[in-house]
């Protein structure tokens, strides 16, 4: 009590009474809870209700539509995080299970996202027939498929690359598996996971139009949201409504970037494993407000204390000291495990062959393979074109520190912006000038994914060692010699990462890019994306499945034959240590 009396009056009052920031924060929390409850209430309405599926193009409806869309995005993000902390951790912790889970995850990542619609819509609508909840779950799952795989791979790679010296420290302190995960492995994976979560949100925005306006066979519905608003605007050829949607989307993206992801990025930077201290990042304005708000500071402190307590629980057994006995047990289990895998694989292969024999003609298979080759050519052409444009621009920006940080933020915003909002402009352009849709629809594949190339090149150029810059200046290395011998080898590992990501995004975007519409005008290009899109609209699950298998095969083969060797070469020969 004596210590409290010695405090200045202003400090004493701030610790015993709520400030105006506390009152504002409490009101914001209550208002947000009311908005979430109001939006959730609509999910219990019948799907045939007029207010559940009618889309109004009056811009006054956009705030409520934006709220519904953001709630779906973050619901999908919640399930993606849950999937990441279960599936990816299990795959990394259990080598036997990882032999199955990692290839399955690689295949799921290569499967076109829109291909899931044909199967998931029927499933979720069957769980809640005639209710909006079934349609909501189908939309959330579609967004989930655009977020989860990237985040899971990030967690898996982080857990497999924990430094060995930190592993030894964990053993020295005799941490249980539960304690080791929350005190070492999860913090080590946090910076990469936060960044990939931001990128996954970007991928989710691309799917908004297709997740909120679903048409599969005889099943069609439109859920209130920005995506369905854009879909209705395109159907009615209302260009002003599209512009309103673009403005609303920019506001939403910038808002959650500033309110959530900027503080998360700053917070996650404390977990980076670095030997050289970087320039400290300035705290974002949201973090400063949270620190100056006693109620929120106390609330988040209590939540953090609770999570720390849970992470410190001594759950699980410590490592067995008898390594010889463990190896003998592992050998016996491995033989049994491989035998079960072989039997399961043979049974699955038999079922696949039987299904294909009775349901798919050989002509249809060769048609899908040929259309897939057309799409492959488009992907290669667009990656090459984007590289010619963004590699020089990324190098210039990355070598100028003042530009690098601003460019990363801009690239993130543009990568989050769904490029399919610009599709109607391309359709009008192609129709007006009577252009070949097989050629001029191709750029739509790379509109939303080209930013990955720019961002990674900027990051690679920004990390170019200062001493090497001075060496090149001293020897007067410039022009084409500087590009060929200095900067291109230096940024090549980063470029390959960006090109690999952009390539996967281009394949997924092919389903939307090869079939674009504006009102009653629909343009289609010959390719596997259009094949899957038409089969999805017709509700032909056999052709959808065939198209998904063929596209996944192309992606996997191209990754194994081109991207993986280039990535290994870059990591082995061109990385700067």
How does pLDDT run across 95-122, given as a tens digit for each residue?
777 777 877 777 777 676 766 666 777 7
Residue 7, pLDDT score = 44
Q: How many Å apart are CA 183 and CA 170, to the nearest integer? A: 9
User: Which residue in the block uniquely carries the two structure tokens 């857990």?
Assistant: 159
Reported as a pLDDT band with limits 50, 70 and 90, residue 266 is confident
542 in Cβ contact with 360 (< 8 Å): yes
Task: Find the DSSP H helices in 278-400.
Answer: 285-291, 294-311, 323-359, 362-398
Residue 4 has pLDDT above 50, yes or no: no
Q: How many Å apart are CA 257 and CA 264, to the nearest integer? A: 10
Q: How many Å apart are CA 89 and CA 154, to the nearest integer? A: 11
What CA–CA distances, in Å, run from 241 to 135, 226, 428? 24, 11, 16
Buried-exposed string 378-412: b where 16+ CB fall within 10 A, e elsewhere: bbebbbeebbeebbeebbebbeeeeebeebbeebb
Overall average pLDDT of the 294-310 stretch: 75
Three-class SS of residue 434? Answer: coil
Structure tokens at 251: 């506001």
Q: How many Å apart are CA 255 and CA 258, to the nearest integer? A: 5
195 in Cβ contact with 157 (< 8 Å): no
Virtual torsion, Cα 434, 436, 440, 441, nearest 10 deg: 110
Lowest-pLDDT choice from 59-63, 139-143, 399-403, 569-573: 569-573
Residue 323 has pLDDT above 50, yes or no: no
Residue 219, pLDDT score = 61
Bigger pLDDT: 78 vs 11: 78
Residue (of 332, 282, 121, 346) closest to 213 by Cα position: 121
The pTM for the full model equals 0.75
Contacts of 572 by beta carbon, 8 Å cutoff, 6+ apart: none
Overall average pLDDT of the 180-186 stretch: 83
What's 562's DSSP letter? I
Where are the strands (E) in 118-177, listed by range? none
């Amino acid at each position: 009590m004596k210590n409290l009396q010695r405090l200045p009056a202003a400090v004493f009052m701030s610790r015993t009474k709520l400030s105006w920031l506390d009152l504002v924060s409490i009101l914001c929390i209550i208002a947000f809870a009311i908005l979430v409850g109001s939006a959730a209430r609509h999910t219990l309405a019948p799907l045939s209700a007029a207010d559940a599926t009618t889309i109004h193009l009056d811009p006054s409806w956009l705030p409520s539509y934006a709220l519904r869309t953001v709630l779906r995005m973050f619901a999908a993000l919640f399930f993606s995080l849950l999937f990441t902390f279960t599936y990816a951790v299990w795959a990394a912790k259990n080598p036997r299970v990882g032999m199955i889970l990692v290839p399955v995850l690689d295949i799921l990542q290569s499967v076109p996202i829109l291909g899931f619609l044909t199967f998931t819509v029927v499933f979720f609508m069957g769980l809640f027939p005639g209710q909006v909840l079934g349609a909501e779950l189908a939309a959330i799952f579609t967004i989930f498929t655009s977020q989860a795989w990237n985040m899971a791979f990030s967690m898996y790679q982080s857990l497999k690359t924990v430094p060995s010296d930190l592993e030894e420290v964990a053993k020295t302190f005799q941490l249980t598996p539960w304690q080791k995960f929350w005190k070492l492995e999860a913090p080590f994976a946090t910076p990469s996971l936060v960044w990939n979560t931001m990128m996954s949100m970007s991928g989710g925005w691309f799917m908004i139009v297709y997740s909120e306006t679903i048409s599969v066979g005889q099943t069609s519905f439109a859920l209130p949201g920005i995506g369905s608003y854009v879909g209705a605007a395109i159907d009615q050829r209302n260009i002003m409504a599209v512009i309103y949607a673009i403005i609303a989307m920019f506001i939403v993206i910038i808002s959650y970037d500033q309110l959530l992801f900027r503080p998360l990025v700053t917070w996650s930077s404390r977990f980076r494993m670095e030997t050289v201290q970087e320039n400290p990042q300035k705290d974002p304005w949201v973090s400063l407000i949270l620190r100056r708000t006693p109620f929120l500071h106390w609330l988040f402190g209590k939540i953090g204390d609770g999570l720390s307590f849970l992470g410190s629980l001594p759950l699980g057994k410590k490592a067995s000291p008898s390594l010889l006995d463990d190896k003998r047990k592992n050998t016996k289990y491995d033989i049994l495990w491989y035998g079960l895998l072989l039997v399961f694989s043979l049974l699955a292969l038999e079922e696949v062959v039987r299904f294909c024999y009775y349901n798919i003609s050989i002509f249809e298979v060769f048609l899908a393979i040929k259309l897939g080759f057309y799409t492959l050519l488009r992907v290669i052409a667009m990656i090459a074109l984007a590289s010619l444009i963004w590699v020089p621009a990324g190098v210039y920006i990355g070598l100028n520190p003042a530009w690098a940080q601003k460019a990363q933020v801009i690239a993130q915003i543009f990568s989050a912006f769904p490029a399919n909002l610009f599709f109607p402009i391309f359709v009008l352009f192609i129709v007006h000038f009577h252009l070949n849709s097989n050629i001029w629809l191709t750029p739509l594949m790379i509109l939303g994914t080209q930013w990955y190339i720019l961002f990674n090149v900027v990051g690679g150029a920004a990390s170019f060692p200062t001493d090497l810059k001075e060496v090149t200046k001293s020897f007067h290395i410039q022009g084409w010699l500087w590009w060929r011998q200095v900067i291109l080898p230096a940024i090549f590992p980063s470029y390959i990462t960006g090109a690999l990501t952009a390539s996967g995004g281009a394949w997924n975007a092919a389903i939307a890019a090869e079939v674009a519409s504006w009102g009653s005008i629909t343009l289609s290009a010959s390719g596997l994306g259009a094949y899957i899109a038409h089969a999805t609209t017709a509700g032909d699950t056999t052709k959808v499945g065939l198209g998904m298998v063929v596209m996944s095969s192309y992606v996997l083969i191209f990754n194994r034959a081109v991207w993986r060797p280039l990535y290994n070469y870059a990591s082995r020969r061109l990385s700067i240590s």
